[in-house]
Structure 1
């Protein structure tokens, strides 16, 4: 089978941190032939480092879409442009991997979903945390019934002081929000996926703007308070149609020491699960709990991805995400992250913001 030709729209931080290195490891399956960014220099740098021979660069993505040889596009732009670029790409006959979140609101996400169905092209959203070792094991445990019926969950996306000071993260118009839509989206996606429950009844929540002036101890350096247009923290309470509930917490800046990101706590009728960081190496750590033979039991599996000195190569969650996505296209199967699921995530996040703005519980259809 011939290689897929792939284009990149948006050659900034997330492209270089995840997508480009992961796709480069799939040189037997894909070749990157087009790179687009509003800053010509960024597109040229990416093309020089990762592009196939003769790779083209663009500053206007619509010109890139005219290249009928391109099979797949990765949309890695600010949130506000996810929907319009993705829809144009699908209409141009390309399969699309779009960075999270799917869109800045449910209306735009619905348009993306409709375009994928109308064109018959594959669409997936970049929720790479599903591909972590601990995440994959927990999903298997949930599907096997180890937890039973999961009726209570907490979705964690909490940083103490880690406000991203680069790019447009603090720009409400371009991003649609702050930590809730940026990292809360990962925690919520994981939680819904484990519960296998996307039927939402109602949402309430609060977005906080409290710590914009406390910027001296930030992990990524001081931010300009005048540019901090989005919330510094947010919480949401989600009720599902079957009575299950989810507590969602997200922060870039919060006075707490209980920090964890893209993780969840699950309680079911047969057992529970807790995702945290390992206290020594900082890697994701999973703990399963249940009752066994009249005793309370906690199971903590080892997460070993490679054997030192034996030439094994560690595979990241970004690598697994890219491979599963490309294989889904080549083998004509569903991607692990379905756009219908990502649409529900966006709908819930939008409802948390709306509840905070109005002070009311939002009832969802």
Structure 2
């Protein structure tokens, strides 16, 4: 029985670009899956990944359905481009596979809703990679908030300022910051607070000197449930004084505030006495105890997905939850186009 519980799952990879190597190199992948198929529109890319990670006799092809059927796969790893997520996921779910996919879920909300519905109907797990939830420091921040040390949360702000020169499709696309990066920060805000967005006002713009064609910067105000306001400031063409990729954060509550630099610097100030005098604040240390198996980024994210498949549970990044982060991106873009605050629906 133990052998059956720990058996490896037959898995197909679709999208054999550079990111797929990070997935398949993880300890979770090596210990839990047998790579029986590789799919990519560029056959050489699939062949390369098969040589590196494939089982003997792994199927290689450009047609996902054919490779799934021929290989007898049970799980799909979808590391393709966003525009392909919908068709890949729907194909896999229709054939009875569980799916782990790259972010974002889909390139449109209507498609994302159909994917969630298909996952429910098929009784299969469809989860999305949100590896930043599985980092040590964000879990420390979340635990501190949950402990009540700064009281009830009312405001959270994140600042993301970097200036990467990617080249390629990002330089030419509309809303590159909101579409390609902000979902990480929006999802982190949901994770930290345990709250979901209800409405948003967003303004995207392209500053002088930007090397992007459109919308490399954005400011947004989200009204969350639980009475929380979330303020997002971001730029992908920032020159100097850059933040980390995880952003810098300020979380304000009724008893104090937490400042987090997105790395390992975490400061907290709270009232030093019951009279709640602004002049009487004290700095306190935040406990840094975490579950080590849950702070390994991609590895922890993939392992939780595999465990959910084995135990028939729902992982933290299950599609029913993750679509709420995608809805924040969709809402922000719609608000920017409309020039007004709009409701967010998932």
Give the distance between the partners of 2:104 and 2:235, measured in 1 at CA: 16
Q: How does 1:1-365 map to 2 (within 5 A)?
A: 1=4, 2-16=7-21, 18-22=22-26, 25-67=28-70, 69-159=72-162, 161-166=163-168, 168-170=169-171, 172=173, 177-198=175-196, 200-211=197-208, 214-215=210-211, 228-255=212-239, 257-263=241-247, 264-277=249-262, 283-293=263-273, 294-299=280-285, 316-365=296-345
Q: TM-score, normalised by structure 1?
A: 0.82
Hey, what's the Cα distance between the residues in 2 that align with 1:123 and 1:210? 38
How far residue 300 of structure 1 moved from its aligned partner, in angstroms, is 5.8
Would you say the 8 A contact 2:28–2:300 is kept in 1? no
Q: Which deviates more from structure 2 when the two are superposed, residues 93-102 or residues 260-269?
A: 260-269
Gaps of 5+ in 2: 274-279
Which structure shows the higher helix fraction? Answer: 2
Write out per-residue CA displacement over residues 83-119 of structure 1, whole angstroms, 9 at most, x where no aligned residue.
2221221111111111111222221211111111111
Question: Structure 1 48/91 Cα, relative in aligned 2: closer, same or farther at 3 Å?
Answer: same
Please say if residues 156 and 262 of structure 1, whose CA atoms lie closer than 8 Å, have aligned partners that are also in contact: no
Question: Alpha carbons of 1:201 and 1:317: their partners in 2 closer, same or farther (altered >3 Å)?
Answer: closer
> Normalising by structure 2, what TM-score?
0.87
Aligned-pair distance for 1:353? 1.1
Alpha-carbon shift at residue 48 of structure 1 (Å): 0.6
Cα RMSD, aligned residues only:
2.7
- What's the offset of the Cα at 1:292? 3.7
**Long gaps (5+) in structure 1:** 216-227, 278-282, 307-312
Find the residue that maps to 1:239 and give its secondary structure. Answer: strand
